Amino acid sequence: SGRCGGTGELEEISRHPCYNEEAHRYFARMHLPVAPACNIQCRYCNRKFDCVNESRPGVVSEVLTPEQAAQKAVGVAAQLMQLSVVGIAGPGDPLANADRTFETFRKVRSRVPDVSLCLSTNGLTLMEHLDDIEELGIRHVTITINAIDPDIGSDIYSWVYDSGIRYEGREAAELLISRQLAGLKALCERGVLCKVNSVLIPGVNDTHLPAVSRTVKSLGAAIHNVTPLIVAPGSPYEQEGRRAPRPKELHALQEICGGEGMKIMRHCRQCRADAIGLLGQDRSADFTWEKIE
């Protein structure tokens, strides 16, 4: 399988700034904010802002149409020589906006053929899109998995909306988790390089994350990114008085997860859904419409 690491795969990992710590000094990513809707409610999220699974709260990205996004990718690729990855990560869930997301990827694939495509999702509908992902040659997919135990998950997700039905409580978490793990396994079997993001939520999933790490490793995940909770203003967690982990707590958890043999990402910058540039810098202001045209 693709997981075992042929030279092609090594090349793909080595040019991806999130999968490879060294690469993030030399290779840039851009995000295309084409996906406004979401099909779940995480308790740390306030829907007025970008998806907290891959970004910091309090940020509002302007949504682009697929055509606008593709034009932007062409413009940025021409000017930003370090660009190696074009990702879709929000501002909602990309697969809850599947038509817009895949139309954008198709346009970028044909007009900027030398960049890798990257997708980040909560994973609820991944199983419906395996063929789309494979046909488009999307080689990097991130799934945010905060729990594998539905009892813990029910403290993280308020509801899940699927095929016209709204689920709550344990049932919602159970559905989401089963879809995430099935999607992860299926993608890994197809040779897609999967990253798992987990939000470290003190008092909720801190002692549970090593079990998450072991499970996603056994299903084939290439790398685990444990990010600190940042409570969005106006989110349910803010009302409950939840707090971010201290840096010491985060590092300790990354050590434990890494100690079990999993590759750990330690350089995540919790990007915005419209970020452009090297990971540490956000140059989206340098690539406004006026400046690209």
Number of other residues whose CB lies within 10 A of the CB of residue 207: 11
Scan residues 114-143 and list those touching ligand CLF (CB under 6 A). Answer: 118, 120, 140, 142
Total site size for ligand CLF, rule CB under 6 A: 18
* Site string (122-161) toward ligand SF4, x via CB under 6 A: x---------------------------------------
89 binds ligand CLF (CB under 6 A): yes
Distance CA 239, CA 247 (A): 23
Contacted by 45, from ligand CLF, ligand SF4, none: CB < 5 to 8 Å by type: ligand SF4
Contacted by 30, from ligand CLF, ligand SF4, none: CB < 5 to 8 Å by type: none
Residues 61, 193, 146: CA angle, nearest 5 degrees:
60
Contacted by 129, from ligand SF4, ligand CLF, none: CB < 5 to 8 Å by type: none
Q: Are strands 83-88 and 116-121 parallel, antiparallel or unpaired?
A: parallel
Tokens of 280: 């540490």
The correct pick among 2, 29, 139, 242 for binding ligand CLF (CB under 6 A) is: 29
Total site size for ligand SF4, rule CB under 6 A: 11
Distance CA 78, CA 88 (A): 19
Instruction: Render 6-75 in DSSP notation, one character per residue.
Output: -HHHHHHHHT-TTT-TTGGGT-EEEE---B---SEEETT--TTS--GGGS-TT--PPP--HHHHHHHHHH
Scan residues 67-86 and list those touching ligand CLF (CB under 6 A). Answer: 85
In the complex, the residues that contact ligand CLF under the rule CB under 6 A are: 18, 29, 31, 54, 85, 87, 89, 118, 120, 140, 142, 195, 225, 268-271, 279
